[in-house]
Amino acid sequence: MKRRIFTLIALLWFTVSYAQQETISGVVKSAGDQAPIPGANVLVKNSQQGTVTDIEGKFSLLARQGDVLTVSFVGMRTQEITLNGQSSLEILLEVDLQQLEEVIVVGYGTQRKSDVTGSISGISGTELLKQPALTPTQAMQGKLTGVQIVNSGGPGENPMVRVRGVGTILGGADPLYVVDGIITNDIRNINTSDIVSIDVLKDASSASIYGVRGANGVILITTKAGQKGKMNINYDGFIGVKTIASKVDMADSRLFIDYANEALSYDNQPPAFDDADAQVNTDWLDAVTRTALTQSHNLSVKGGNDKATYYASLGYYGEEGILKNNDYERINFRLNNTFQLTKNIKLGNVLGLSHFVGNNIPFSVFTAAYKAAPTVPVKDAEGNYGFTSQNNVGNPVATIDHTHDRSWGDRMQGSLFAEVTFLKDFQFRTSFGLDAIRNKGRIYVPVYRISDTQKNEISVLTLKRNNYNNWVWDNTLTYSKNFGNRHSLKVMAGTTAQSNKNDEFEASRQNVPAQERYWNLSLGDEASATNNSKTFENKINSYIGRLNYSFADRYLLTVTARYDGSSKFPKNNRWVLFPSVGLGWRLSEEPFMQDIDWLDNLKVRGSWGKIGNDNIDSDAFLLTFVSGLDYAFAGGSTLQQGATIVDIKDLNLLWETTYETDLGVEFSMFNGRITGEIDYYHKRTKDVLMPAPLDAIFGDRDNSFITNKADILNEGLEFALNWRQSAPSGFNYSVGVNLTYNKNKLEDIKGATPIISGSLGNGQVTTRTDVGQPIGSFWLWETDGIFQSQDEINAYVNEEGGLIQPDAKPGDFRLKDINKDGIIDVADRSFSGSYQPEFYFGFVGSISYKNFDLSIDTYGNLGNKVYNGKKAQRFGNENIEADLAGRWNTTTPSNSIPRASNDVPLATTYFLESGDFFRINNITLGYTMPASLSEKIHVGNLRVYASAQNPVIFKDFSGFTPELPGDTRNAGIELNAYPTSSTYLLGLNIGF
Amino acid sequence: MKMKPFIKQISYWLGILACSWTMYSCSESFLDVPPQNEQTPEDKLSTNEAAAQVVNAIYNKLLDWNQHTFAWIGITSITSDDADKGSVPGDTGTDKNLLDNFTFSVDAVSFNEVWVANYQGIARANQALKVIPDFTIEERVKNRLMGEARFLRAYFYFNLVRSFGGVPLIEKIPDPTNTQELEQARTRASKEQIYQLIINDLQFAIENLYPKSELGPEDVGRATVGAAKTFLAKVNMYLNNWSEVSRLTNEVISSGEYALVDDYATIWREVGENSVESIFEVQGRGDTPNKGLQGYTATQGVRGQFGWGFNTPTEDLANTYEVGDTRKEATIIFPGETLWDGVEIITDVPNPYYNQKAYISRVQETFNGNDWESNKNLRVFRFAEVLLMNAEAANELGMDALTSLNLVRDRAKLAPVNETDPNKLRKIIWHERRVELAFEHDRFFDLVRQGRAGEVLRAHGKNFVDGKHELFPIPQSQINLSEGKLLQNPGY
């Protein structure tokens, strides 16, 4: 058997390499000044064989007669030369706005980038692959303006993505994802290796084609297709290790004991710890974390002919968390085909299958590891888990060991499409997409007893099943026509319908045996069975239209409209039109600019449009009977159903509407060496959902009802500049910078209730969403030094001579009496900053010299605040950070660190820290084997690389990570957050 | 034959196809997605089972965290001389320390919780009263259900009027868009108006509820005519209508439906649920699916062993029992002791005593690991209180008080009282109420009713101010929401 496979492989090799190859040499020059072009790429088309020109612009490579050579260089128009007997070539490359000819996906169609009048940022699949991660969005961080990515460090976690600021409070703030036309909100099933490009529709003019779902921005993902030519096999993969990027220096046992006993002494309590406790000194963070393995392997094959093309791939992604027992694995399969049935009819499909398994550990383990007393051993001499009854922190290692929480999922996402061209200028396209997700969850809580408070007395097995079925059917008719040679017109009209169905099922039983193989409900106690199911459904039907007109490639007009009907809104209120208009002027095409040689392109553009956000629960406007309000009569033995109306609702609820104006400039100079784009946007969202308060007399369940109340303004500037240069020595480099400024403000709430949020779970809240402030602003008492003595407390008096802080003790914070009413109360809280950065930016750079390439990506943000929630969430006798050695006490006064205390700390500015950070996201060093060598081993191309992800971070924040995703009101709080990790990996890319 | 669904599918898709190209007339039906997880009022009310369900939903409110748990424990018990805040000094339970020593302000969250909870209950009762008349069910059952809704509404108002005095009187769910209605709904009615509503509701309940003996076994725990009479007697006691108290308690006593159980300690155990002594209890279910009083046992459980350790008996209460009073052991958990179920209480605890009436046995009672919603029933009215109200009324009316009083004492293994001086006897009855009903959410209101809350609580070291603290403050947040229509109680 083995031999046969070997023979087969040998045959394959033979086939691939069988053909008469000869050495082709040549020189590449610039058509303008006849100067040689070093560093130009010369490739044998569809083979991955190729080389790079030397200092004199010369090249040589092996090819066959009839092969097509592709010669490309930055800023030049790519040329294809079919070998027709020549063995020596002189190739003249023309200067071209190659950059501008780029075609981008705009939603229900494509457009030349040069014709675009809206603001769209794009990134190529190659660029995404540089930062290995679960989702392509993680790899987009720092690369695009107007797109803020906040990563969670946990394996299998979705990053938080905000396009041009936060434009909602209670609705979903995530962008809309469109994968090959299929609308979704989760792209964790997409293998980054399968992606050609991602385009982000940022302004209303480009996003209005997605109407009521476009307001948070739209991320369009296009997966790879096959292409005509020989079969092409590619492998790329990497393997690496991850470690925690920054640790927090915690107190050792000695310091902890001193602090805890000192805190108790202020409450006249006896010491809880003695010197014997200092014999143990556990580093709990070490105990719960590990050096983790991460790897990815992808194999793809593509090819095709005039009748059909194919792209197929198989991928594996495996990521261990730095948290022990926490991991995520995914397998992907993709098959994308096109079939040219007749000259006028083309059929095609995209199909992605994926499967994942995740082992989940609660992130609160990180908080527990932070708080656990170092005097407690992980396990004692007898092998029992250590604990102390002096605080309420459970043994975090025991928590990990007793957590059995696994999730699985299968997903099929794909579409079939047909394109018919007729009457020369018309194209009809119909596409039917399906997205089916089958997720499972299993949680087993075993019986255990670590201590009186960390225990579980009866085992429970819970199984979950979630099914999502989503179809979307798009029909578009496009008419494109050039009139004369100056007028160009493209009109698209279409319909789309979409249905989302989702059902959830959950069941549990107690006393299921502890061995994993028995984790079936049938083995549990029948009397303890619980089960529950729910279904959700929403539908959208829409009519779309777009008109593109350009005159002489100079004056550009785009008019877009979408008429959306959504089942999420009341019948009399469910249809709405989202129009937009965009104008562009390519000054560089004007006759009067033709003399400016160095200017390749200059375009100014402006747009206005309306977009919506319908990301709310389906029944939000309906009065319904709530079931489950049951009551068990006869001492609990006869459970009877109860149901009633408990919520007051707004029966005329509307979507949120964003009106956005965008002004932009795009330019390209010196043969594309310098390119740049600057945008200003003004994005006002109206009818934003907020809870309006209700007096308790209405008896509403949560004393409020959701209604369209608030106005939000996001205003910002985006700036991107890139420079690329190829030097004669074969030394190429490029640098780029992008910067986004965004100002978020809640402008009006029209009597709605400001939302107080950011709960730490110990009675303290930290954020308030209110007029005049960014959404989710920190709202805290401001500290003003520390009372050094009782005299200072006695001297802090109001006008009547009463003590402002009568309960304070020396060593406590003096709090500012902001409203000067002589007492410290809730009215003295003030806004202290927001988790939303004013600026976020990235610097990217790359150098290549001959066969080596080096690139660096960085990311940072400025002007935001983060709250050290884990430090603030005290109940008593938790561990402390090492710098609390410098705390206030009578012998060593301090004016910055308060006395030891076991009181629940107030939400003060003491716990608020700068969120500014700057991080090297990625450094990669690669080596590509010279063609002469790779040919010898029958390989088209071979590149090896080493990458360091997040190797260096500069931050002010003392915690584990300044990247703290959360919902609109609760982000920026480090509590149960997954620390950022650094990854070091080796990768291989090989093509046949 | 699966033909029909298939044809249905086909026509559905054809419909969509047609819809895609004609304008939206038919996409309207495509977009009509009715609610699937909660029923619309039309659908719900079309079945007669819903009549009982809307009433059961009012009972369900009795289990909520904000109804009988932390806030209610705080304002009815921790405020009194029976209970300390408990737990550890740093764990304030948000404002329980302030309730303990009467340093709370108008912002203390417990008041708002109690206010909100009882109005939520009132809304559920009003919802039931609105829809029940339209059901076509047996008239007697319909009236019983109406009676239960009114009994429960009276209960919510009684909690409010004792806590806050006159409050807004809501008999139907107000329309927030009707400004006149809204303004009226935001204005406090007088204390007398609220009591009148309570009396009317209970009178209706007495006329329409079933006697305890006529309830089916599956309905044990529903309000009964005996419960309504006991409740009305208690309301009249707060109004000093002693002849009514006497009449109603005599009716309950002579109904023959109730008696004292022999062993006081068993009343709060599972075996004591809905006993012969029980008149009205909130029913907890400790089996899956749990429907218990949320957090009631956990908040009061022995700290470090079972729970948070709030609402702990005071030294003063422990010392107030007469020698030999069996109720002391039944009411108080002492660290280190072995309880009736064999469970040993740990000694390494921050408080000297814990509330045994909130204790559930994990080894000898129904317990499925869920200590948040446990099997524990809350005893709201029981026969011993009927006897004590009867004794107090008799004493005030110059009739025989000792018979009823001594029944209660006899069960506690105490010698009979022979006191005949009404003033001295009144004090004895009050003391008897204290030890009999300790930790049954009665003490603070009882002290206020007796007109000696200031005297007793100040002696206990609390900052009680006469003329102010007899009522709790109207929650400031509610005053703000009412746009100033709600007026604050004196002194705040």
Q: CB distance B37–A629 less than 8 Å?
A: no
Contact (Cβ atoms closer than 8 angstroms) between residue B57 and residue B128:
yes
Q: CB distance A696–B116 less than 8 Å?
A: yes
- Tell me if A149 is assigned to some domain: no
The alpha-helical segments, DSSP class H, found in A786-837 are 790-795
CB-CB neighbors (< 8 A) of B126 in chain A: 699
Q: Beta strand A865-867 with A182-184: parallel, antiparallel or unpaired? A: unpaired
Whether B375 has its CB under 8 Å from any CB of chain A: the answer is yes
Cα(A525)–Cα(A298) distance, rounded to whole angstroms? 45
Nearest residue to B333 via CA among B265, B271, B408: B265
Which token pair is A979?
């620390």
Q: Is the pLDDT of residue A45 over 60?
A: yes
Predicted confidence (pLDDT) per residue in A283-333, tens digit = 999 999 999 999 999 999 999 998 999 999 999 999 999 999 999 999 999
Q: Span B14-40, mean pLDDT?
A: 68
| pLDDT score at A9 | 41
Selected for mutation to probe chain B from A454, A457, A633, A653 (highest B CB count within 10 Å) is: A633
Cα(A974)–Cα(A957) distance, rounded to whole angstroms? 10
Selected for mutation to probe chain A from B17, B33, B113 (highest A CB count within 10 Å) is: B33
Please, which contacts does A55-58 make with residues 24 or more away whose CB atoms are closer than 8 Å? A55/A728, A55/A729, A55/A730, A56/A27, A57/A27, A57/A28, A57/A29, A58/A25, A58/A26, A58/A27, A58/A28
CA dihedral (A376, A382, A384, A390) positive or negative: negative
Which of A83, A98, A113 is a domain's end point?
A98
- Tell me if A907 is assigned to some domain: no
Whether A617 has its CB under 8 Å from any CB of chain B: the answer is no
Which of A770, A797, A828 is a domain's end point?
A828
| pLDDT score at A101 | 62
Residue in chain A lying closest to B37 (CA): A534
Whether A289 has its CB under 8 Å from any CB of chain B: the answer is no
Q: CB distance A497–B92 less than 8 Å?
A: no
Q: CB distance A697–B170 less than 8 Å?
A: yes
- Which of B107, B377, B478 has the CB atom closest to A695's CB atom? B478
Q: CB distance A452–B305 less than 8 Å?
A: yes
In which domain, by residue range, is A822 found?
A: 782-828
State pTM to two decimals.
0.83
CATH number of the domain bearing residue A35: 2.60.40.1120
DSSP letter, residue A324: T
| pLDDT score at B17 | 59
Q: CB distance A528–B40 less than 8 Å?
A: no
Query: What is the four-CA torsion angle of B392, B398, B402, B405, rounded to 10 degrees?
Result: -10
Selected for mutation to probe chain A from B273, B368, B480 (highest A CB count within 10 Å) is: B368
Q: Beta strand A865-867 with A912-914: parallel, antiparallel or unpaired? A: antiparallel
Distance from CA of B134 to the nearest CA of A (A): 15
Q: Span A616-629, mean pLDDT?
A: 85
Banded pLDDT at A12 (limits 50, 70, 90): very low
Whether A825 has its CB under 8 Å from any CB of chain B: the answer is yes
Q: CB distance B24–A575 less than 8 Å?
A: yes
| pLDDT score at A503 | 94
Selected for mutation to probe chain B from A544, A644, A700, A901 (highest B CB count within 10 Å) is: A644
CA dihedral (A46, A51, A52, A54) positive or negative: negative
Nearest residue to A833 via CA among A906, A905, A759, A916: A916
Q: Beta strand A22-30 with A88-93: parallel, antiparallel or unpaired? A: parallel
Distance from CA of A220 to the nearest CA of B (A): 24
| pLDDT score at A17 | 40
Cα(B464)–Cα(B457) distance, rounded to whole angstroms? 6
Cα(A104)–Cα(A199) distance, rounded to whole angstroms? 7
| pLDDT score at A13 | 39
Inter-axis angle of helices B242-254 and B383-397, to 10 degrees? 140
Give Cα A873 distance to the centre of its chain.
Answer: 28
Residues 6+ apart with CB under 8 A from A565: A540, A541, A542, A574, A575, B24, B27, B28, B31
Cα(B79)–Cα(B464) distance, rounded to whole angstroms? 10
- Which of B44, B174, B222 has the CB atom closest to A697's CB atom? B174
Beta-strand ranges (E) seen in B253-292 are 278-282
Predicted confidence (pLDDT) per residue in A339-370, tens digit = 999 999 999 999 999 999 999 999 999 999 99
Three-state secondary-structure class, residue A75: coil
Q: CB distance A825–B33 less than 8 Å?
A: no
Contact (Cβ atoms closer than 8 angstroms) between residue A182 and residue A435:
yes
Residue in chain B lying closest to A540 (CA): B31
- Which of B30, B57, B174 has the CB atom closest to A698's CB atom? B174
DSSP letter, residue B188: P
Q: Is A628 left (phi over 0), alpha (psi -120 to 50) or beta?
A: left
Whether B297 has its CB under 8 Å from any CB of chain A: the answer is no
Q: CB distance B39–A643 less than 8 Å?
A: yes
Query: What is the DSSP secondary-structure string of B26-69?
Result: THHHHH----SSSB-HHHHTTSTHHHHHHHHHHHHHTTSHHHHS
Predicted confidence (pLDDT) per residue in A95-129, tens digit = 665 444 678 888 898 888 888 898 998 888 888 88
Residues 6+ apart with CB under 8 A from A722: A674, A675, A676, A734, A735, A736, A737
Whether B144 has its CB under 8 Å from any CB of chain A: the answer is no
Residues 6+ apart with CB under 8 A from B111: B71, B75, B104, B163, B164, B472, B473, B474, B475
Q: Span B157-184, mean pLDDT?
A: 90
Range 79-98 of B in CB contact (< 8 A) with A = 88-92, 94
Cα(B354)–Cα(B466) distance, rounded to whole angstroms? 30
- Tell me if A82 is assigned to some domain: yes
Selected for mutation to probe chain B from A432, A640, A653, A702 (highest B CB count within 10 Å) is: A640
| pLDDT score at A68 | 84
Cα(A585)–Cα(B55) distance, rounded to whole angstroms? 69
Q: Span B100-126, mean pLDDT?
A: 95
Q: How many domains does chain A have?
A: 2
- Tell me if A793 is assigned to some domain: yes
Q: Span A166-181, mean pLDDT?
A: 92
- Tell me if A535 is assigned to some domain: no
Nearest residue to B369 via CA among A445, A432, A636, A766: A445
CB-CB neighbors (< 8 A) of B40 in chain A: 622-625
Nearest residue to B55 via CA among A699, A631, A639, A697: A631
Distance from CA of A622 to the nearest CA of B (A): 8
Q: Is the pLDDT of residue A8 over 60?
A: no
Q: CB distance A642–B53 less than 8 Å?
A: yes
Cα(A738)–Cα(A722) distance, rounded to whole angstroms? 8
Give the CA angle between residues B353, B357, B360 to the nearest 5°: 100
Q: Give the DSSP H/E element, type plus range, for residue B222.
A: none
- Tell me if A798 is assigned to some domain: yes
Average pLDDT, chain A: 90
CB-CB neighbors (< 8 A) of B186 in chain A: 695, 697
Contact (Cβ atoms closer than 8 angstroms) between residue A731 and residue A724:
no
Nearest residue to B417 via CA among B446, B438, B388: B388
Q: Span A818-832, mean pLDDT?
A: 92
- Tell me if A823 is assigned to some domain: yes
Residue in chain A lying closest to B184 (CA): A697
Q: Is the pLDDT of residue B362 over 50?
A: yes
Cα(A585)–Cα(A115) distance, rounded to whole angstroms? 10
Whether A904 has its CB under 8 Å from any CB of chain B: the answer is yes
Contact (Cβ atoms closer than 8 angstroms) between residue A703 and residue A694:
yes
Q: Cα Rg for chain A, rounded, in angstroms?
A: 31
DSSP letter, residue A263: H
Peptide bond between residue A175 and the one before it cis (omega within 30 degrees of 0):
no
Which of A98, A120, A135 is a domain's end point?
A98
- Tell me if A450 is assigned to some domain: no
Q: CB distance B28–A571 less than 8 Å?
A: yes
Cα(A563)–Cα(A542) distance, rounded to whole angstroms? 5
